[in-house]
Amino acid sequence: MDTSSWVDTSLDLNASARSLRLETPKESGSNLIVFGSKLSVKEETGALMEELNRVRAENKKLTQMLTAMCESYNALQSQLMDVMSKNTEKEHSPPKKRKSESSNNNIDNNFGIIGNSESSSTEEESCKKPREEMIKAKISRVSVRTEASDTSLVVKDGYQWRKYGQKVTRDNPSPRAYFKCSFAPSCPVKKKVQRSVDDQSVLVATYEGEHNHLPLSQMEPTSGSSRCVTLGSVPCSASLNSSGPTITLDLSKSKSSTDPEARNSKPKMDSPEVRHYLVEQMASSLTNDPNFTAALAAAISGRMFQQNPIEGWMKYQNMDQLDFSFFPFPSRIYLAGRTYQLTKDSMIFYEL
């Protein structure tokens, strides 16, 4: 990992309702571990020795897990390659046929997603087309009932679209409108809107691809460089500044919050994509850094003698369930030019 792109993250660890963010160190550090709780030198030495053994054991366990994971990955990859090569063979033998849209024709008259994504043809195409094409090929269909008098072909779905064409098709007397996402070309999503043949009051929107951004309705109206969102139950903000991307999760508000406003805001950006993206960002930033993991392991296991060490460490392996509730606060770790600080209300990582 490129440490220059160190991502400032703060995670809600639910159980502890503490936050995690980066700050500038105020003290110069040596390679020294300082814990908030006061221990005598003897106790500390003994604890450190035990901790060292434990970390070694955990390290071994992690190595084994990683090896197993790599093996599984390789096995899956080879299986995928097999399937893909078989599909490619199949594709080349029969004559090509034009994709029939009517094959995905079960239309709901309420606002619902029908035939959601990944038609079989897209799986076939995925063998020979790049990833962009795969994304583009993801198809979903939505039908919306409108006023009979409403002649516009507008389906309000939270995104902003630019119409780029309209065409009367053979199988339907009403014209079909073609839209591109306004964020094109960075967002490849397209949609086609046409009235249903059976019921002219129903608009059928066919989406191709997946948005790589949030709906307009969920973006901050000022379109500034920072945005406040929720991540799962966790309010968080993401911003870009000169030092790189910053994601800050306010962990002081856990999902058990009874604040109605907090509840209302929860659905905002609570999409799996966002959650996954943020967790992925944080996890990769942290876990890919050996210094961080070493420091964290030291900090965690340093307290494990008094608390439940195994449970704590195992939770760490699952980044989005990370639980630091057993940490002493404040704790500060100086290691290899970085300072990792835990406070009662927040968990802070920063490098010098």
Partner DNA sequence: CGTGTTTGACCTGCGC
Partner DNA sequence: GCGCAGGTCAAACACG
Contact residues for DNA, defined by CB under 7 A: 95-98, 101, 160-167, 169-171, 176-178, 182, 190, 192
* Spatial contact of 62 and 287, defined as CB atoms under 8 Å apart: no
Which structure tokens are listed for 343? 């406070």
- Contact indicator for 234, 282 with CB cutoff of 8 Å: no
Query: One-letter amino acid identity for 114?
Result: I
CA atoms within 13 A on the CB side of 113: 9
C-alpha to C-alpha distance for 293 and 298, rounded to whole angstroms: 8
The closest of 268, 189, 194, 188 to 231, measured between CA atoms, is: 268
Specify the residue, 160 or 257, whose C-beta has the smaller distance to DNA: 160
Nearer to DNA, 53 or 182 (CB): 182
What's the closest the beta carbon of residue 176 comes to DNA, in angstroms?
6
Instruction: Name which of 73 and 164 has its Cβ closer to DNA.
Output: 164
Q: Give the residue with the Cβ less far from DNA, 224 or 337.
A: 224
Nearest-approach distance from CB 136 to DNA, in angstroms: 9
- CB of 79 or CB of 182, closer to DNA: 182
Residue 112 C-beta: closest distance to DNA, Å? 21
Q: Is the bond leading into 260 cis (omega within 30 degrees of zero)?
A: no
Q: Please state the closest distance from residue 150 (CB atom) to DNA, in A.
A: 13
For the bound state, the minimum distance from the C-beta of residue 85 to DNA, rounded and expressed in Å, comes to: 21
CB of 156 to DNA, least distance (A): 12
Q: In this complex, which beta carbon is closest to DNA, that of residue 173 or of residue 267?
A: 173
Tokens of 338: 């970085």
What residue spans of the chain are helical by DSSP H? 41-92, 120-125, 131-137, 260-265, 272-287, 290-302, 309-317
**Going by C-beta distance under 8 Å and a sequence separation of 6 or more, which residues neighbour residue 304?**
51, 54, 310, 312, 313, 326
Q: Nearer to DNA by C-beta: 205 or 300? A: 205
| Beta-sheet strand order (sheet of 190-195) | 112-114, 139-145, 202-208, 190-195, 175-181, 161-168
The nearer residue to DNA, 209 or 309, going by C-beta atoms, is 209
Full strand arrangement of the beta sheet holding 19-21: 33-34, 331-335, 338-342, 346-351, 19-21, 244-249, 234-241, 226-231
Closest contact distance (angstroms) between CB of 235 and DNA is 30
Contact 10, 20 (CB under 8 A): yes
| Shortest distance, position 289 Cβ to DNA, whole Å | 41
